[in-house]
C-alpha cells in the first residue's frame, strides 16, 4: 500500500511537470501488428500531439507542410530508429528530430521511427526506399541494448520487444486467434457481457487451446519457469552491437553507392554531462518510483550507467570499419530542459540534437 501511494504521487508529480507524457503513455496501448516490420503505431492517428500516416509512421512538419512515408517526396531523406526518432516527448509533430532536421537543412526528412523497434525492424522499414540516392540517418542503439539481456525467440534475428507476447501466441494457430477476435467483435454470448468478463472468457479459451497444443507428459506437472540469471554485461554489449552493425551493414549495401548513410547514437541523459534542470530531476525521480517494481528497467538503467560508453565505443569502431559516419548525440551541448526521461527529449532537446547532427551531415563527403 505504501508503494502504491508513492507511485500514485510520482505519477501526479510527473504529469504536473510534463503533461505531454500522458499523451505518450496513452499511445503505448496503440501499437498494432503490421507487415513486415511487425509492429507500428496505429495508422491514421490524429491527436493534438501526434499524427500518423497510413502505415503508422509519424508525420514530419515544417510550418504548413508535412511529409509522410506513404507519399515521400523525391528529394526527401529518411530517419530510421525507435521511439526517439518517433519523437516521444515532443509536444507536436514539428518538434521531432526529423522535423528539426528539415528546419536546419532545408531538406524534408521522413520519420520512419518505430516505437519498441530493434535495428532489424528499422532496416525493414527502410526497404521500400532503398533505391533512392538520398540521405539515410539511422538514429538508434537503445532498443537493441535494452533487449539484449533476453533469450531471443529466434536467435537468427535477435531479441525484440515482441518476443514475450509472441511466445504466448505460438501454441495457438493464427486462424484460431482470428476466430477469437471475431467472436469478441461480432456479438453472440460474449457481446452481452462486460469487458472484464470478456477478457476472462477469451483467456479461458486461449488457455484451453494452449493446453491442448502442448500437454504435459503423463504423470508430469508443468514446471514453473525459473528466473534466469542476468547475462554478463559485456555479453549484452556484444549482442546489441553485433546486431546493430549487422543491420547497418545491410542498409549500406542495399542503398545506392551515392546514397549517404549516417549512424547517430541516440543520447542518454547520464552521458551528456549536462546539468539537470529542476524539471528533469523531478521527472527522473518520479519515474524511478513508478518503475521500481518492473523487472526490466532497473537493470537496463544500471547497464546504461555502466556499459553504455563501451557500447558507444564498439559502435563507433564498427561504423569506421563500414565507412559509415558515426555521431554520438550524447556529445552535443545541451542546456535547459531537454529530457522528459533519461532517453527521450523535449522539443528543445530534439532541436539541439538535430543541430549537432546537421553539422555532422555537412561533413559527410558528397
Structural domains of the chain, with CATH? 2-162+233-362 (3.40.50.1110), 168-211 (no CATH)
Which residues, 6 or more positions from 76, have their beta carbon under 8 angstroms from its beta carbon? Answer: 67, 107, 108, 109, 110, 134
Cβ-contact 254, 261 below 8 angstroms? no
**Local confidence band at 56 (pLDDT 50, 70, 90 cut-offs):** very high
Which residues, 6 or more positions from 193, have their beta carbon under 8 angstroms from its beta carbon? Answer: 201
Strands (E), 57-145: 60-62, 65-67, 77-81, 109-113, 135-140
Mean pLDDT rounded to a whole number for the chain: 88
Q: What is the pLDDT of residue 18?
A: 87
Cβ-contact 165, 257 below 8 angstroms? no
> What pTM was estimated for this model as a whole?
0.87
For 78, phi and psi rounded to 5 degrees? -135, 140
Q: Which of 333, 288, 327, 303 is nearest to 81 (CA)?
A: 327
Q: What is the pLDDT of residue 211?
A: 57
Q: Of the ranges 43-52, 291-300, 349-358, which one carries the lowest mean pLDDT score? A: 291-300
Cell of 350: 530534439
Residue 273 above 70 pLDDT? yes
Q: What is the pLDDT of residue 203?
A: 65
Cβ-contact 288, 302 below 8 angstroms? no
Taking CA 336 as the corner, what is the angle to CA 331 and CA 341, rounded to the nearest 5 degrees? Answer: 75
Residue 190 above 60 pLDDT? no
> Rounded to an integer, what is the distance from CA 218 to the centroid of its chain?
43
- Percent of the chain scored above 90 by pLDDT? 66
Q: What is the pLDDT of residue 361?
A: 83
Amino acid at each position: 500500500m505504501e508503494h502504491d501511494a508513492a507511485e500514485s504521487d510520482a505519477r501526479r508529480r510527473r504529469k504536473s511537470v510534463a503533461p505531454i507524457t500522458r499523451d505518450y503513455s496513452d499511445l503505448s496501448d496503440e501499437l498494432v501488428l503490421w507487415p513486415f516490420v511487425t509492429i507500428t503505431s496505429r495508422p491514421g492517428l490524429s491527436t493534438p500531439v501526434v499524427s500518423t500516416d497510413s502505415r503508422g509512421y509519424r508525420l514530419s512538419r515544417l510550418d504548413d507542410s508535412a511529409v509522410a512515408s506513404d507519399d515521400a517526396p523525391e528529394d526527401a531523406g529518411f530517419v530510421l530508429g525507435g521511439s526517439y526518432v518517433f519523437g516521444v516527448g515532443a509536444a507536436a509533430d514539428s518538434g521531432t528530430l526529423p522535423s528539426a532536421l528539415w528546419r536546419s537543412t532545408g531538406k524534408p526528412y521522413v520519420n520512419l521511427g518505430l516505437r519498441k523497434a530493434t535495428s532489424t525492424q528499422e532496416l525493414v522499414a527502410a526497404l521500400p526506399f532503398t533505391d533512392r540516392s538520398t540521405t539515410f540517418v539511422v538514429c538508434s542503439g537503445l532498443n537493441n541494448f535494452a533487449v539484449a539481456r533476453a533469450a531471443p525467440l529466434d536467435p537468427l534475428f535477435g531479441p525484440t520487444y515482441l518476443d514475450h507476447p509472441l511466445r504466448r501466441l505460438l501454441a495457438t494457430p493464427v486462424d484460431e486467434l482470428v476466430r477469437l477476435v471475431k467472436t469478441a467483435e461480432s456479438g453472440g454470448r460474449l457481446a452481452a457481457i462486460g469487458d472484464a468478463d470478456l477478457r476472462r472468457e477469451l483467456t479461458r479459451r486461449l488457455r484451453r487451446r494452449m493446453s491442448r497444443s502442448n500437454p504435459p507428459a503423463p504423470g508430469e506437472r508443468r514446471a514453473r519457469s525459473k528466473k534466469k540469471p542476468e547475462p554478463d554485461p559485456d555479453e549484452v554489449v556484444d549482442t546489441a552491437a553485433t546486431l546493430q552493425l549487422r543491420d547497418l551493414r545491410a542498409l549500406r549495401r542495399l542503398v545506392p553507392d551515392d546514397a549517404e548513410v549516417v549512424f547517430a547514437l541516440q543520447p542518454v541523459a547520464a552521458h551528456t554531462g549536462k546539468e539537470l534542470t529542476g524539471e528533469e530531476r523531478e521527472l527522473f525521480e518520479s519515474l524511478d518510483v513508478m518503475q521500481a517494481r518492473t523487472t526490466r528497467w532497473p537493470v537496463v538503467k544500471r547497464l546504461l550507467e555502466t556499459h553504455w560508453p563501451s557500447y558507444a565505443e564498439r559502435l563507433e569502431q564498427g561504423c569506421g570499419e563500414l565507412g559509415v559516419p558515426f555521431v554520438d548525440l550524447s556529445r552535443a551541448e545541451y542546456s535547459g530542459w531537454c529530457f522528459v526521461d533519461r532517453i527521450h527529449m523535449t522539443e528543445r532537446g530534439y532541436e539541439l540534437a538535430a543541430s549537432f547532427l546537421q553539422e555532422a551531415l555537412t561533413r559527410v563527403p558528397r
